[in-house]
Amino acid sequence: MERELSQRLGDWSPEELEAAGQEVLELIRDYFAHLEERPVVAQIPARELQALLAEPLPEESVPFAQTLAETKANIVPNLTHWNHPNWFAYFSAVSSGPGILADTVISALNANAMLWKTSPAASALEQVILRWLAEMLGYDPAADGVLINGASLATFYALAAAREALGLNIREEGIAGRDLPVLRVYCTEHAHSSIDKAVIALGIGLKNLVKIPGDGQHRMRPDLLAEAVQADLARGYKPFACVAVTGTTSTGALDPLAAIGRVCEEHGLWLHVDAAYGGFYNLVPEVRAQVDDLNVADSIVANPHKVLFTPLEVTVLYSRRKGELAAAFSLVPEYLRTAPQDGTVNYMDFSLQLGRSFRALKLWWVIRSFGRKGIEARMAEHLRMARTLEANVKAHPDFVRISESVYPLVCVKAFPRDLQAEYASAPPERRCEIAAYLDRLNAEVLERVNAGGHQFISHTVLRDEGYILRVSIGGLRTRAEHAAALWERLQAEVRAADEALRIC
């Protein structure tokens, strides 16, 4: 079959598409069959990769077989593999069979879910998915909701709605040249950088994002939030929003939502909950029992593309403050006016996005394929692996466990036993020396673990604990043996790094 499109107009015939599709499926099958043999992180230097891919704009049709061959040869081997079973860095974001195939169908149908009329079944299915996801999170299923392309934008939209809800009419009059109060937003230093970016984009200013200190477990201290709000009120500022996190990026900390909610309620602050990572772990009863009721949130974001085995990009944003997202973002030009019909929703009304892909379909396929119980079972397994690793770390004399998380994120620090013993009674200068050495040691361990490409972990730096290692377990293909191998590797690299660094 031809499939070259060189001698004619139009697209592949349906038969050509199917034949090419078989070859693509073979590529995907091979990819997963041999994924574990590949390094997790691409090993090629950037310049070499750029040179490998540099080519002029093709004037003529390139045979698809050649494009496929080059995809296999040049693209796939030079990626960092998020689906890899030995991925333990950042947070996992994995795709699953049903999600992968749904993306193909989404592209085939190419439904634009901006208005009900432009995509009735896509909009109706989005309503269903929004109810399901709300049930999974434990958030009000009657809340306004929308599927969008990332938690960072969701937080921006939520804070924009919160700003509009102040009644300062910023939507109409803007912020420049007006006599407006200084707007203040609160979160901890462990909240995600997307909050900083949102206050930049909303004209609130980074210096008006107040970082509330955390407790020993890096959770926001509600008493200090209340103090900060009162101090700001006394200065004539306008506190208007607080972002609490269930599952912070650094350590998986869980901000105390109920207590924060009471402070927000007392002072009329909009509470946005960033549940991008942690939210869907509420499917697991042992987690849910430790998380305060999410319904204190005026708005909440969670990431199916992080924890629900659904390919990028799909995030869910809800607000139980009905109408506020639309008040911020709904704007219907004449050419998009449609006759309202009972029960319909125009999803373009809830964000800045107009053209929207049919994201609900992949969630529908994924959730139906695994079932709620299937998703819960996989999450429970990730939690089991994390708890096993934690127990190993606790029992080992050359490691300390840093922060406790209800999620499958384990934060550890290599701390050789002789230094632990010395540290306890060391004078301040010696303590500083030891702390500096531990930072170097742990950075070296990270380098060594990641260097071979067999495993991939990440790090963070905390104010009190310094440089620490993060092991996040959430891959669909990660099994207990992978986590066990990582633990062996960590021990070996700590011994090797300690030996290498202490000699000098």
Ligand X SMILES: *Cc1c(COP(=O)(O)O)cnc(C)c1O
Q: Which of these ranges, 27-35, 72-80, 204-212, 245-253, lies near ligand X under the rule CB under 6 A?
A: 245-253
Q: Does 315 bind ligand X (CB under 6 A)?
A: yes
Site for ligand X in 123-152 (CB under 6 A): 150-152
Q: Does 198 bind ligand X (CB under 6 A)?
A: no
Out of 208, 250, 303, 450, point to the residue binding ligand X (CB under 6 A).
303
Nearest distance in Å: CB 348, ligand X: 20
**Quick one: tokens of 97?**
């069979």
Nearest distance in Å: CB 276, ligand X: 4
Is the Cβ of residue 72 or residue 288 nearer to ligand X in the bound state? 288
**Rounded Cα gap, residues 283 and 93, in angstroms:** 17
Is the Cβ of residue 195 or residue 438 nearer to ligand X in the bound state? 195
Nearest to 470 by CA among 384, 393, 396: 393
Q: What is the largest CA-CA distance in the chain?
A: 81
* Residue 46 identity: A
Is the Cβ of residue 305 or residue 482 nearer to ligand X in the bound state? 305
**Rounded Cα gap, residues 504 and 493, in angstroms:** 17
Is the Cβ of residue 89 or residue 419 nearer to ligand X in the bound state? 89
**Quick one: tokens of 356?**
């929207």
Which residues make Cβ contacts (< 8 Å) with residue 141, sequence separation at least 6? 130, 131, 134, 135
Q: Does 367 bind ligand X (CB under 6 A)?
A: no
Out of 164, 274, 349, 493, point to the residue binding ligand X (CB under 6 A).
274
Nearest distance in Å: CB 173, ligand X: 30
> 3-state DSSP: the chain helix, strand, coil percent, rounded to 5?
50, 15, 35
Coil vs helix vs strand at 78:
helix
Q: Which of these ranges, 36-44, 60-68, 161-169, 269-277, lies near ligand X under the rule CB under 6 A?
A: 269-277
Is the Cβ of residue 276 or residue 366 nearer to ligand X in the bound state? 276
* Residue 211 identity: K
Is the Cβ of residue 445 or residue 468 nearer to ligand X in the bound state? 468
Nearest distance in Å: CB 407, ligand X: 10
* Residue 149 identity: N
Binding map of ligand X across residues 397-416, x = CB under 6 A, - = no contact: --------------------
Nearest distance in Å: CB 300, ligand X: 12
Q: Does 277 bind ligand X (CB under 6 A)?
A: yes
Site for ligand X in 89-118 (CB under 6 A): 91
Q: Does 192 bind ligand X (CB under 6 A)?
A: yes
* Residue 330 identity: S
Coil vs helix vs strand at 209:
strand
Is the Cβ of residue 306 or residue 396 nearer to ligand X in the bound state? 306
DSSP secondary structure string for all residues of 412-434: EEE--HHHHHHHHH--HHHHHHH
Nearest distance in Å: CB 490, ligand X: 23
Cα within 13 Å of Cα(462), Cβ side: 28
Phi, psi of 421 (to 5 degrees): -65, -40
**Quick one: tokens of 441?**
């040691």
Is the Cβ of residue 95 or residue 194 nearer to ligand X in the bound state? 194
Separation of CA 84 from chain center: 17
Q: What is the DSSP code (8-state) at residue 308?
A: S
* Sites of contact with ligand X (CB under 6 A): 91, 150-152, 192, 194, 245, 247, 249, 274, 276-277, 303, 306, 315
